[in-house]
Structure 1
Amino acid sequence: MSGTVKDPGQLVVDLAFGFALSGALAAAVKLGIPDLIAGRPMSAEELGDELNAHASSVHRLMRSLSSLGVFSEDDQHRFHATPASVLLQRTTPNTLRDAVLMITQDIFWKPLGAFEDVVLTGRNGMERIFGKPFFDYLSENKQAGAIFHTGMSSLSDMENRLIAQSYDFSPFGTIVDVGGGHGGFLIEILKTAPSARGINYDRAHVLKDARVDELPGQWQCMEGDFFQSVPVGADAYVLKRILHDWTDETCIQILRNIRQAMAPEGRVLVADTVIPPGNEPHGGKVLDMLMMASLEGCERTEAEFSALFKQAGLKLSRVYHTPALLSLTEAVAA
């Protein structure tokens, strides 16, 4: 390994305090502070007046986040915007504000607070804490569901173009994004393959917020349940951040549905993290903790993807690593 190795004690302490930084970032976003200082630097007193908040507490929050580069503090104790805080403004294209709100909401926060129960039992904390499996809870709790789906779109916007440009989609006539959400990834794919036609396949309550005004005429939304079936006869089926939500058995059923529906020379492209071997840091290993805490699935290795494909009548053909966290794992008919 290269670089400076952190003192072991400091490593442990920094990890233990990590939740405090997540809470501070979420508070700043919820209060709208990145938007307030977008136009001009403001002191804690000015921010306190604007927010009807306790000025000293505002200063302590801002001082902490400024030390990390989220904001910056000058000699007059005024707080300025930074490139990081710009990404948290409501009006910034591809803002990450909604992603922060999603990651720090209770459906992840509370199960992680009792993570030892998850490890001991092998069961996520959703039913014990919230009384419902993850997606059932989101369907019944509209506010939590809206935060999740909007946040996922925000997170995806940061990576969609990088992933889409890492693979040649131009040979395909019809591309189905299975569980495609609001359509952001499919839009970026179709920009790279202007002669292709796309189908964004998802549940009705998700599709109602689809970005249908972008690339009009090149794609359409189709309502359905990928646990039961998928559109028939397409050349490529894309699953972005879908399989990692589910158990192996459920993933195999989804993939079997696709195998039955796909064109003879079709491709299946799974956009998920591919966990590498060894001890090197990887974002997928961190994301896997959220999956353990709140969902049924996991982040997988290349060998684990290969095993899923085999049981679904497919075979892994290649893994395309992208500049984003996610890789594209390609499968064809076995």
Structure 2
Amino acid sequence: MPVTPRIDLASVTRLTELADYIVPFTIRVICDLAVADQLTDGPLPVGELAARVGADPGALTRGLRALAGRGIFTETEPEVFGLTPLAEPLRSDHPFSVRECFPLMPPDIYSWARLTHSIRTGETAFGHVHDGARYYDHFADHPYECVRFERSAESVNPFVLRTVLPVLDLGDAATLVDVGSGHGTFTAGLLARHRGLRAILVDLPHVVAEAPAVLARAGVADRCETRGGSFFDPLPEGADVYLLKTIIHDWPDAQAAAILRAVRAAVRPDSRVVIVESVSRYGNHDDTGKVMDVKALALFGGHTRTEDEFRALLADAGFRLARITPTSSMSVLEAVPADSPTDDAPAAAASAGRAS
């Protein structure tokens, strides 16, 4: 006989909060309007706030009250709103700003509305609703949405850098190629840390075109060049380090192996490959990689991989996995050409071990 479910109202409440999309959508709209940027000097009456951001005062009040009930913003007196610790990272000038993390982009929203298709078939919902188009091919033809996507992806880099830098020793490297670099914020952080390092950013022309401004703001433009191109095509040869940050998880195994083979054709025998990705693990622990795995299913067609899957994928492309160092955000995987000596695991290994 079926077991009678126990009554647990706290679980019902929690599940309702997790399943609701009203609050997530409202956060995204508030980010689009840059509301938090207007409250840096203190609370404002909603009428003045609405005038600054171009919103209807009554509608803005309703949205902010919904968020204030969850601790995001605070209504200090009737129709006067201010920041809370949860709202502070929505400021553009916050060191770990997440304002650009949450764009409301119709192509994505339409895809999530068809997630059932992905769960039933294993195919991307994005391709299902966009006539078979691949995610990145679609955005190549929609420059405004492409810029918003890239800014969203880049906005997490300050946090990832903070967790990765202590375990990634590039002190012995003079040259680095960032494969699929986006706008270059991650490598800009690496260059700021390692003053003797020079880098080449490689990404599609319409993406990497945004990089010079990012590099200039970071003060590292003189040590970095950009090259427009696909990471399936020949890459700059002979660098000390080849970086692939959150690239491999976007692609099915065949394409992921093709990217790695393009890297393999470019490396020297003593080069190393640094892959920054989530590594899938069994169990019930909370893990951003598990959530991003569903995003990869719905939008990109790739998946989060286990250590064994990474090891096999790298071996197929002619690499040997030298080490994995977990961090609080992602893992740092370091690989070397399969025919390199077994004792040549980079000096970074010992340093990373001490740092972790």
Indicate whether the TM-score tops 0.5. Answer: yes
Aligned twin of 1:105: 105
SS at match of 2:215: coil
Partners of 1:150 and 1:50 in 2: CA distance: 23
Partners of 1:313 and 1:187 in 2: CA distance: 29
The residue type paired with residue 291 of structure 2 is: V
Figure out how many residues of one structure are paired with residues of the other and give that number.
326
Partners of 1:135 and 1:206 in 2: CA distance: 11
Cα contact 1:37–1:81 (8 A) shared by 2: yes
- List per-residue Cα deviations over 1:170-219 (Å, max 9, x = no partner): 11121111111111111222233322221111222112111232223322
Aligned twin of 1:129: 129
RMSD: 2.1
Are 2:160 and 1:159 equivalent residues in the alignment? yes
Aligned twin of 1:138: 139
Are 2:334 and 1:333 equivalent residues in the alignment? no
Alignment of 1:186-197 (within 5 A): 186-197=187-198
* Residue 297 of structure 2, aligned match among 284, 292, 295: 292
Name whichever of 68-77 and 225-234 sits farther off. Answer: 68-77
Aligned twin of 2:88: 86
Partners of 2:119 and 2:308 in 1: CA distance: 23
1:48 to partner: Cα distance: 4.3
- Which runs of 5 or more residues in structure 2 are unaligned? 1-7, 339-356
1:242 to partner: Cα distance: 0.7
Question: 1:252/1:51 Cα in 2 relative to 1: closer, same or farther (>3 Å)?
Answer: closer
1:307 to partner: Cα distance: 1.3
Question: 1:12/1:96 Cα in 2 relative to 1: closer, same or farther (>3 Å)?
Answer: closer
SS at match of 1:217: helix
Are 2:264 and 1:262 equivalent residues in the alignment? no
Partners of 1:197 and 1:297 in 2: CA distance: 31
Partners of 2:183 and 2:295 in 1: CA distance: 22
- Which runs of 5 or more residues in structure 1 are unaligned? none
1:231 to partner: Cα distance: 1.0
Aligned twin of 2:350: none
Name whichever of 186-195 and 239-248 sits farther off. Answer: 186-195
Cα contact 1:165–1:192 (8 A) shared by 2: no
Cα contact 2:174–2:196 (8 A) shared by 1: yes
Partners of 1:275 and 1:251 in 2: CA distance: 16
Moved over 6 A (4+): none
Aligned twin of 2:18: 15
Aligned twin of 2:203: 202
Cα contact 2:249–2:277 (8 A) shared by 1: yes
Partners of 1:146 and 1:110 in 2: CA distance: 19
1:112 to partner: Cα distance: 1.6
1:45 to partner: Cα distance: 4.2
Question: 1:190/1:55 Cα in 2 relative to 1: closer, same or farther (>3 Å)?
Answer: closer
Aligned twin of 2:342: none
Alignment of 1:305-316 (within 5 A): 305-316=310-321
TM-score (norm 1): 0.90
Are 2:185 and 1:184 equivalent residues in the alignment? yes
Aligned twin of 1:322: 327
1:46 to partner: Cα distance: 4.0
Partners of 2:274 and 2:290 in 1: CA distance: 21
1:161 to partner: Cα distance: 3.6
1:30 to partner: Cα distance: 2.1
The residue type paired with residue 142 of structure 1 is: P
The residue type paired with residue 18 of structure 2 is: L
